[in-house]
Amino acid sequence: MSSDPYGDRGNKDASIANPRGGSTSHPVKKGGHASAAPGGPFLIGEGMTGGYGSGPDILHDCTIAVEKGEIAVIVGPNGAGKSTAMKAVFGMLDLRAGHVRLDGEDITALSPQDRVRKGMGFVPQTNNIFASMTVEENLEMGAFIRTDDFRGTMEQIYDLFPILRDKRYQAAGELSGGQRQQVAVGRALMTQPKVLMLDEPTAGVSPIVMDELFDRIIEVARTGIPILMVEQNARQALEIADKGYVLVQGANAYTGTGKDLLADDEVRKSFLGG
């Protein structure tokens, strides 16, 4: 197996910013989500219903998915359940209904750690770095499941995020917000994931830094790693999205290509500020 996360994984020519024409966005009716047939999306949380512990359901028949070679973006109001849906897909929540499939395999019963072994990388919304550890130690922690030599992967991450090479011996907590997010994404890439899940990778950064982070995320996607991400910068994120999901109160409200959602009057008025 190659130790190169950006090596030949195919999909290099995938046009990740080029949604296919034809379809339009649609409000999602109950039970109206697409089903995950074999050969369906690379990663899908389908019909997910569940909440925290014995508390009330937060997710209601919620479906999110990402295809090979694509970027899928989840948007929606604060408290809509976006992070909860991501945690459910990563196995941090017990589902009362629904399932999660990775490359056709049902992984609903797997622990988060086993999902990492299966090829999932996840950057949570909060507490996604070890602040008192150096940048390099954070990357080393990211490689926790690897028994092979991961120096090459680390060099690739430093090539992707050159500022991290410069700051490799600094405590990650001393870095700027955008740099800390780079550490978090880099840490997740250390396992050479087959799919990357990012919860608000541009939270709290300036518009310029946001653009830079999006460019890096597109670069990762172009190497063949599909990306499922939550974004509060909805308009900008949908511009780079092949597929978009609007979640409201734990349920799918609108689903479509990024382009379709950006063009949808209802979505614009309610979620994109007009």
Ligand X SMILES: Nc1ncnc2c1ncn2[C@@H]1O[C@H](COP(=O)(O)OP(=O)(O)OP(=O)(O)O)[C@@H](O)[C@H]1O
Least distance from Mg ion to the Cβ atom of residue 229, Å: 11
Which residues make up the interface to Mg ion (CB under 5 A)?
Answer: 82-83, 125
- Report the residue from 4, 52, 166, 174 that binds ligand X according to the rule CB under 6 A: 52
Given ligand X, Mg ion, none, residue 186, with its beta carbon under 5 to 8 Å by kind, binds: none
Q: Does 204 bind ligand X (CB under 6 A)?
A: no
What is the DSSP track for the chain?
A: ----TTSS-S-TT--TT---SS---EEPPTT-SPP--TT--SEEEEEEEE-STTS--SEEEEEEEE-TT-EEEEE--TTSSHHHHHHHHHT-S--SEEEEEETTEE-TT--HHHHHHHTEEEE-SSS-S-TTSBHHHHHHHHTTT--S--HHHHHHHHHHSHHHHHTTTSBGGGS-HHHHHHHHHHHHHTT--SEEEEE-TTTT--HHHHHHHHHHHHHHHHTT--EEEE-SSHHHHHHT-SEEEEEETTEEEEEE-HHHHHH-HHHHHHHS--
> Is there binding between residue 78 and ligand X (CB under 6 A)?
yes
- Is 80 an interacting residue with respect to ligand X (CB under 6 A)? yes
User: Interacting stretch for ligand X, rule CB under 6 A, among 76-84, 153-161, 162-170, 258-266?
Assistant: 76-84
Residue 101 binding target from ligand X, Mg ion, none, CB below 5 to 8 Å by type:
none
Q: Does 48 contact ligand X by CB under 6 A?
A: no
Query: Is the CB of 163 or the CB of 248 nearer to ligand X?
Result: 248
Number of residues in contact with ligand X under rule CB under 6 A: 12
- The answer to whether 259 contacts ligand X (rule: CB under 6 A) is no
Interface with ligand X, residue 58, by CB under 6 A: yes
Using CB under 6 A, list all residues that contact ligand X. 52, 55, 58, 76, 78-84, 125
